[in-house]
Structure 1
Amino acid sequence: MANLPIRLQPGAAVDRIEGWEADAEGRCVLKVRVRARPIDGEANDALIRLLAKSLGVSKSSVTVVRGGQSRSKMVVVDGLDDETLDARVAKILSGD
């Protein structure tokens, strides 16, 4: 199980994983944009679908464990360790 800190921007023009950035406290978070609006959990659902597809895991393996009503979230990915998750995110960001 791997933890992934996320900064989500709902209402974007396209669903996309942007890259790493520092949050207000200086922690490294993955910036993700989704087209869905933050209404009735639609943005969280879109985030889960995008991460599952991009990381090559099932949707049931991706869970928002903190920040369900916030742009700052903590996501847990079951079936991946931190090292494997970091490698997959790096591959996504490199465009390979």
Structure 2
Amino acid sequence: MAKPKLRNVPDLSARALPDEGIEVRVTPKAAKDGILTDQGNIRIFVTAPPENGKANEAARNILAVAMGVAPSTLILRRGQASRDKVFVYLP
């Protein structure tokens, strides 16, 4: 069974600047996948567990959908084992 598509995704296409760091806070093992923006802060909720990079990959995919870019163009620069992460857009 396929995962349901995200709904009410904020438009973060303005953040798609090359070599610009995008700071996010990730909450793993959430009830459902989602992304929220509040006063410039980005919070990503993923249902994936924080093991073997599953939550990082899920967060990258959700952020890519919100930015309107391919997930392969987002690189995790900092925060591999932290809730606070920095992704970089490299087209």
Per the shorter chain, which TM-score range? Answer: 0.7 to 0.9
Does 1:48 find its partner at 2:60?
Answer: yes
Residue pairs, 1:1-96, within 5 angstroms? 1=18, 2-20=20-38, 29-79=41-91
> 2:89 & 2:30 partners in 1: Cα distance?
24
CA drift of 1:68 comes to: 0.6
TM-score, normalising length from structure 2?
A: 0.72
Cα deviations by residue, 1:13-71 (Å, 9 ceiling, x for unpaired): 111112236xxxxxx63111111010100000001111112211111111110001000
More helix by share: 1
Aligned counterpart, 1:92: none
Q: Which runs of 5+ in 2 are unaligned?
A: 1-17
> 1:61 & 1:78 partners in 2: Cα distance?
5
The count of corresponding residues between Structure 1 and Structure 2 is: 73
Identity %: 33
